[in-house]
């Protein structure tokens, strides 16, 4: 069994701070004027919070919720437009920590289960153009006497996440904790380190696009299902459930690895997981206790049939523990083991928050946060100032590549852009320096991308970057991608772990030359080869799908040359031009192609 390994790095001990920022107009404290939320759990803060949301949605700002309880009595809505301008997402809501910052619904407010209402609705455009939205470090408490209440209806495209949040409902209160099923085209997005306590359903997903990724999720005390998926492409790693009802109900495409599902009370009457209506499902290292059986995998849309099947309805489904199970047999071009590669898994290194007074704010060195003047020299001065955290509170223009070196270990944006649309040169080159780990996070667009010219551990989190490319100096290094979108990523003999990866260029999307690339939830657009593996590399794709929008017939979906690949992957295509070749695999001098009618890539297995 593969176990997660926490990355431990030899760094000097630091004081850990809650999520706070240097003083800047782009970090908006909702308790301060002109908003003045009381956060005392008694005063109604609905009007103050709604005003703050109206005035800052779509502006690449953070709405910051200091410690306290914010009482609300109506849905907080992210507007599509406000003040004569359209919003395109780019909104961050962040609490001091989920243990300290709580939004609570007034008791007896949303009482009708037939007309559910959310504490917070995160908007959208009616299309997949609502970018880079984040809700982090908050607790959503639906209070008592609110059976029709939904904690959070979240929506984001390409990048976006709900991180480190709790959703709490008293007994008899709460319909859905985290609702991702409330509208179409939701995702790609990430949900990570979240806990849902109570509610009829803990998490709901639905619709066919755009893929959703979950990692380290805890579900407790639901009354219908812990996790309900109605047609979405879902990838989950690290699910802990303690429930008297099924932990997971799904149709569509679902991958679940590393799960502990504990049944209580009436769970002995239920399966832990129900896959129905012919949905594609892949399970690995799933432990169950207290349930009638681990999995009911049924082809009928009649969910009740899951409770009438005794024993195994498909080989390997009974449990109580499932080492590896696929609803559809693995396809191979050459003779290969049907099982997954089981590449070693490492957690994304956590963010260390320093005292904001010690951050280097690039504006203080003369950088222009409106991106009108060239800020290259000012930004480089901030990098070389001796600070370990460098802060970009706005948008910037740079005439040359910024070198990340010296003492810097963290570069933080506020979903701003650098050289928007300009691909003439690399924006950041990460070179050797004092810190063994470097993190870049929260940029909505890096026009020229990132060059990795070091063996240091690199974490890229919550950003859009034109490209990521490794140089020979990066060989053997470790790279963590979390909630990243971009074009044409190229890795050279590196160890890569990616969560919620979205690559959208025409042509080759990702190249793994001689390294290990592990991906939890890979979503793509347009045509061209989605993964090219060569040089003895190993690539493992745990869930995701191609949203094939152009030129699917021009290239194989996956290419492997004397290398190893395993993929649980699917395709959605509305333009009548899907991939004609799903896999092109070469061993020595022989190449075999797997066409779209020759089998599934859910899963595909190929290794010498």
DSSP string computed for 14-40: -----S---S-TTEEETTSTTT----E
Mean pLDDT across the chain: 93
The per-residue pLDDT for 3 is 30
Residue 3 vs residue 347, higher pLDDT: 347
Compute the average pLDDT of residues 242-248: 98
Compute the average pLDDT of residues 395-409: 97
Is the separation of the CB atoms in 442 and 463 below 8 Å?
yes
Proportion of the chain above pLDDT 90, given as a percent: 86
* pLDDT per position as a tens digit, 168-190: 999 999 999 999 999 999 999 99
Residue 571, pLDDT > 70, answer: yes
Compute the average pLDDT of residues 79-96: 92
What's the CA gap between 338 and 340, in Å, rounded? 7
Confidence of residue 2 (pLDDT cuts 50, 70, 90): very low
The per-residue pLDDT for 355 is 92
Residue 106, pLDDT > 80, answer: yes
**Residue the block writes with tokens 């050279």:** 492
Residue 8, pLDDT > 60, answer: no
Residue 7, pLDDT > 70, answer: no
3-class DSSP assignment, residue 472: helix
The per-residue pLDDT for 1 is 28
Compute the average pLDDT of residues 243-260: 97
For the segment(s) 29-182, the CATH number from 1.20.1250.20, 3.40.50.300, 1.10.3720.10, 2.160.20.10 is 2.160.20.10
Q: Which helix (H) or strand (E) holds 52?
A: helix 46-56
Percent of residues in the chain assigned helix, strand, coil, to nearest 5 = 5, 50, 45
* pLDDT per position as a tens digit, 341-358: 999 999 999 988 899 999
Compute the average pLDDT of residues 482-510: 97
Q: Report residue 547 as tokens.
A: 């949203």
Of 22, 3, 125, 13, nearest to 392 (Cα)?
22
Confidence of residue 315 (pLDDT cuts 50, 70, 90): confident
Is the separation of the CB atoms in 254 and 239 below 8 Å?
no
Determine how β-strand 85-86 pairs with β-strand 81-82: antiparallel
Determine how β-strand 604-606 pairs with β-strand 564-572: antiparallel
E-strand ranges in 343-436 read 345-346, 360-361, 370-374, 389-392, 395-397, 402-406, 410-418, 428-433
What's the CA gap between 134 and 190, in Å, rounded? 10
Residue 99, pLDDT > 90, answer: yes
Cβ contacts of 597 within 8 Å, gap of 6 or more: none
CA dist 394 → 96, 158, 306 (Å):
21, 21, 53
Domain boundaries, the chain: 29-182, 487-608
End-to-end CA distance of the chain: 22
Q: Give how far the C-alpha of residue 277 lies from the chain's centroid of Cα atoms, to the nearest Å.
A: 27
Considering the entire predicted model, what is its pTM? 0.95
* pLDDT per position as a tens digit, 415-472: 999 999 999 999 999 999 999 999 999 999 999 999 999 999 999 999 999 999 999 9
The per-residue pLDDT for 85 is 83
Confidence of residue 14 (pLDDT cuts 50, 70, 90): very low
What's the CA gap between 62 and 191, in Å, rounded? 19
């Amino acid at each position: 069994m593969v176990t997660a390994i926490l990355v431990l790095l030899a760094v000097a001990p630091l004081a850990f701070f809650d999520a706070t920022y240097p003083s800047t107009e782009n970090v908006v404290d909702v308790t301060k004027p002109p908003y003045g939320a009381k956060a005392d759990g008694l005063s109604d803060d609905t009007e103050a919070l709604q005003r703050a949301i109206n005035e800052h949605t779509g502006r690449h700002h953070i709405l910051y919720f200091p410690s306290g309880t914010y009482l609300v009595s109506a849905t907080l809505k992210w507007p599509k437009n406000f003040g004569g301008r359209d919003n395109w997402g780019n909104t961050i809501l962040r609490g001091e920590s989920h243990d300290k910052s709580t939004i609570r619904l007034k008791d007896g407010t949303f009482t009708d289960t037939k007309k559910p209402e959310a504490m917070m609705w995160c908007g959208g455009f009616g299309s997949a153009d609502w970018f880079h939205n984040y809700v982090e470090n908050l607790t959503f408490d639906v209070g008592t006497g609110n059976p029709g209440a939904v904690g959070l209806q979240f929506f984001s495209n390409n990048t976006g996440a709900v991180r480190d949040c709790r959703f709490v409902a008293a007994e008899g209160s709460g319909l859905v904790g985290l609702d991702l099923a409330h509208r179409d085209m939701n995702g790609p997005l990430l949900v990570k380190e979240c806990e849902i306590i109570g509610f009829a359903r803990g998490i709901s997903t639905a619709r066919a696009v755009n893929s959703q990724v979950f990692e380290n999720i805890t579900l407790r005390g639901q009354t219908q299902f812990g996790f309900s998926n109605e047609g979405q492409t879902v990838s989950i790693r690290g699910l802990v459930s303690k429930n008297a009802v099924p932990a997971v109900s799904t149709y569509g495409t679902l991958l679940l690895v590393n799960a502990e599902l504990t049944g209580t009370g009436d769970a002995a009457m239920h399966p832990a997981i129900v896959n129905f209506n012919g949905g594609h499902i892949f399970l690995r290292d799933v432990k169950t206790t207290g349930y009638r059986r681990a999995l009911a995998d049924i082809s009928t849309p009649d969910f009740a049939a899951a409770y009438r099947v005794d024993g195994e309805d498909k080989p390997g489904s009974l449990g109580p523990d499932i080492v590896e199970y696929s609803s559809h047999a693995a396809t191979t071009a050459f003779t290969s083991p049907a099982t997954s590669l089981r590449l070693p898994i490492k957690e994304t290194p956590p963010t260390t928050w320093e005292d904001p007074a010690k951050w280097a704010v690039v504006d203080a060195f003369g950088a222009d946060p409106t991106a009108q003047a060239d800020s290259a020299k000012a930004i480089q001065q901030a990098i070389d100032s001796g600070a370990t955290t460098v802060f970009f509170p706005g948008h910037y223009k740079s005439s040359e590549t910024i070198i990340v070196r010296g003492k810097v270990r963290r570069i933080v944006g506020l979903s701003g852009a650098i050289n928007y649309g300009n691909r003439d040169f690399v924006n950041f080159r990460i070179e050797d320096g004092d810190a063994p780990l470097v993190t870049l996070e929260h940029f909505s667009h890096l026009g020229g991308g990132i060059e990795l010219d070091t063996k240091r551990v690199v974490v890229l989190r919550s950003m859009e970057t034109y490209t990521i490319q490794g140089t020979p100096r990066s060989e053997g290094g470790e790279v963590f991608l979390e909630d990243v979108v971009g074009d044409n990523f190229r890795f050279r003999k590196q160890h890569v772990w990616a969560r919620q990866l979205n690559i959208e260029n025409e042509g080759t999307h990702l190249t793994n030359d001689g390294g290990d690339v592990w991906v939890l939830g890979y979503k793509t657009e347009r045509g061209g080869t989605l993964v090219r593996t060569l040089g003895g590399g190993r690539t493992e794709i745990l869930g995701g799908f191609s949203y094939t929008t152009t030129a699917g017939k021009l290239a194989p979906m996956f290419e492997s040359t004397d290398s190893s690949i395993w993929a649980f992957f699917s395709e959605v295509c509305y333009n009548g031009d899907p991939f004609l070749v799903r896999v092109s695999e070469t061993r020595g001098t022989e190449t075999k192609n797997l066409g779209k009618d020759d089998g599934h890539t859910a899963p595909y297995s190929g290794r010498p």
